């Protein structure tokens, strides 16, 4: 990934999404040739010279101070995740990007202990590139029961959650609002790419997704970033039917993320998750998690 262009592309995209009237600038009814703010207007709002901001957006300046970046963030009305992403991109622009050899990620010891302690709650551990580093039985059955449960133990065979969301029919069908899930995945991946601009495996993943999915390509080009510590989805599981679940993501050491799935207490969705956990622990799925079963009736009976 080029360390010069991402900052300029991010700034340009965000600038195009801010309307002059939203920030108190007069338009006098003029017809604009470009959407959003002009460069000189954003420079005025941020309190920097137009020529300096132009150089920054074009990648011809790499010395933006934290104070200048904060001023630009305020002018663009960036949220916290976008503000941190802006600083990451600027830091990457200040240093030469040298692709490095990246060893396979290993589950942090403390994270492994957490996964072992949680059995009834679906848990998945994701690495910095959305690779599945570990899952418990219930997490495997919820997210990818059609895959080998031991695949996270083999670095070369690890599923990648971003690739599953965009390229795997089973995973796509899991989400009633697939577009929301897709936006969340791309936004999270954008944040990670900003933190690791010299990771060749990250660049390779993004390149594969761009080739395999036009939907990913369109969302990636929008430069949206999302932290998504908490997200609510309706999941349509082939074994236990439809559930409204909350996916909570904890940031752990080594840039690993622990995703835990819960549902409202004593709800039909909570009973469905409990049934899924019992199925996972008993091993009754027998590798048939991707097959629709007469489970909707079981869920409603349990609730």
pLDDT in tens, 172-228: 999 999 999 999 999 999 999 999 888 999 999 999 999 999 999 999 999 999 888
CATH number of the structural domain 109-302: 3.30.450.180
3-class state of residue 200 by DSSP: helix
Q: Exposed (0-12), middle (13-18) or buried (19+): which is 242, by Cβ within 10 Å?
A: middle
3-class state of residue 175 by DSSP: strand
Residue 2 has pLDDT above 50, yes or no: no
Residue 291 has pLDDT above 50, yes or no: no
CATH number (3.40.630.10, 2.60.40.740, 1.10.260.40, 1.10.150.120) of 5-94 reads 1.10.260.40
Residue spans per domain, the chain: 5-94, 109-302
3-class state of residue 135 by DSSP: strand
How many of the other CB atoms lie within 10 Å of CB of 264?
Answer: 11
pLDDT in tens, 280-290: 988 754 444 43
3-class state of residue 187 by DSSP: helix
pLDDT in tens, 138-151: 999 999 999 999 99
């Amino acid at each position: 990934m080029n360390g010069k262009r991402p900052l300029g592309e991010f700034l340009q995209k965000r600038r195009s999404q801010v309307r002059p009237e939203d920030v108190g600038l007069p338009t006098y009814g003029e017809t604009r040739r470009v959407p959003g703010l002009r460069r000189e207007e954003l420079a005025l709002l941020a309190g920097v010279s137009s020529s300096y901001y132009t150089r920054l957006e074009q990648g011809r300046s790499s010395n933006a101070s934290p104070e200048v970046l904060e001023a630009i963030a305020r002018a663009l009305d960036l949220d916290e995740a976008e503000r941190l992403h802006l600083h990451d991109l600027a830091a990457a622009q200040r240093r030469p990007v040298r692709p490095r050899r990246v060893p396979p990620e290993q589950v942090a010891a403390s994270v492994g202990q957490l996964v072992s302690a949680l059995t009834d709650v679906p848990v998945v551990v994701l690495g910095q590139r959305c690779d599945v580093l570990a899952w418990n039985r219930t997490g495997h059955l919820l997210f990818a029961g059609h895959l080998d449960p031991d695949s996270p133990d083999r670095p070369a065979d690890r599923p990648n959650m971003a690739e599953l969301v965009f390229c795997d029919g089973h995973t796509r069908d899991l989400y009633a609002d697939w577009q929301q899930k897709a936006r969340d995945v791309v936004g999270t991946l954008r944040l990670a790419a900003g933190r690791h601009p010299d990771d060749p495996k990250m660049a390779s993943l993004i390149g594969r997704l761009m080739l395999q999915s036009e939907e990913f390509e369109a969302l990636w080009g929008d430069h949206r970033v999302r932290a998504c510590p908490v997200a609510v989805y309706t999941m349509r599981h082939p074994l236990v039917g439809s559930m409204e679940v909350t996916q909570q993501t904890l940031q752990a050491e080594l840039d690993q993320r622990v995703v835990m799935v819960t549902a409202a207490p004593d709800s039909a969705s909570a009973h469905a998750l409990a049934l899924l956990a019992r199925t996972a622990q008993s091993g009754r799925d027998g590798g048939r998690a991707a097959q629709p079963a007469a489970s909707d009736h079981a869920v409603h009976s349990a609730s």
